[in-house]
Amino acid sequence: MGSPARLTAARRARLEQSRVGLTEQLVDAMAAAGMQRSVLVSGSAVGYYGDRGDEVLDESSPPGRGFMPEVCQAWEDAARPAAARARVVTLRTGLVLSLEGGALPPMVLPFRLFAGGPLGSGRHYQPCLHLADDVALVLLALDDARVSGPLNCAGPEPLRNRDVARILGRLLGRPSFLPAPAFAIRAALGEAAEVVLSSQRVVPKRALDLGFRFRYPTIETALTDLLTPAAGTPEPT
């Protein structure tokens, strides 16, 4: 859903247009071109589920409430009409871990500055996955005719934020006990604070049911590969 920033009216409009509006245009173009028997792999996000505490969430779980769930529902709804001519997959993607951008660099920075720790209470679950596994799931959606509808793109063992902070601290050789107070995050980000404080205990049930094998099945193996390259590449489990 993009980097956390205040959800001004202008930013809300940009988010909706870039997700919902462009998907509607693509589906209309497919219809105009008379495309048949094709595949549409459309974006979505784990924001679909909203803040759900300790509830285990798979693809059959209902949507949450709030701006992010509403955008994700509208995004998926925009892709659904293409099902008349294509196999449609909507990727509900979590935090993709990569050193080239995305969520990981801003996660790592406070630790490098000796100011790392949990966000708020740290009790909320964070659905993360290594970029390599995210790419593999996209390829699964493209190539496997058994895949349609929502597909959770998250690792099979979600952890609480405080546990992710502990792993980051250990791998970077930095302290991991300095929390960022929830009230300060909300003061800085406003409504967008839900992006970093919401708890989403998402599991990739459909991928696992289809026999998908994660190269980095835990957040710890993913972070170890990215932050300690000498550790090497693990074999699939």
Q: Rounded distance, CA 103 to CA 91, Å?
A: 17
- Taking only the tens place, the pLDDT of each residue in 21-35 is 999 999 999 999 888
Q: Are 91 and 142 in contact (CB under 8 A)?
A: no
pTM, two decimals, is 0.88
Q: Are 168 and 107 in contact (CB under 8 A)?
A: yes
By residue count, the chain amounts to 237
Q: Are 127 and 155 in contact (CB under 8 A)?
A: yes
Please give the pLDDT value at position 192.
64
Task: Assign domain 9-228 to a CATH class.
Answer: alpha beta
Please give the pLDDT value at position 175.
95
- Taking only the tens place, the pLDDT of each residue in 119-136 is 999 999 999 999 999 999
Q: Rounded distance, CA 177 to CA 175, Å?
A: 6
- Taking only the tens place, the pLDDT of each residue in 151-177 is 999 999 999 999 999 999 999 999 999
Please give the pLDDT value at position 184.
86
Residues in CB range of 207: below 8 A, 6 or more apart: 137, 140, 151, 152
> What averages of pLDDT result for each successive group of 10 residues across the chain (237 residues)?
60 81 92 89 96 97 93 96 95 95 91 95 96 98 97 97 97 94 81 82 98 97 90 47
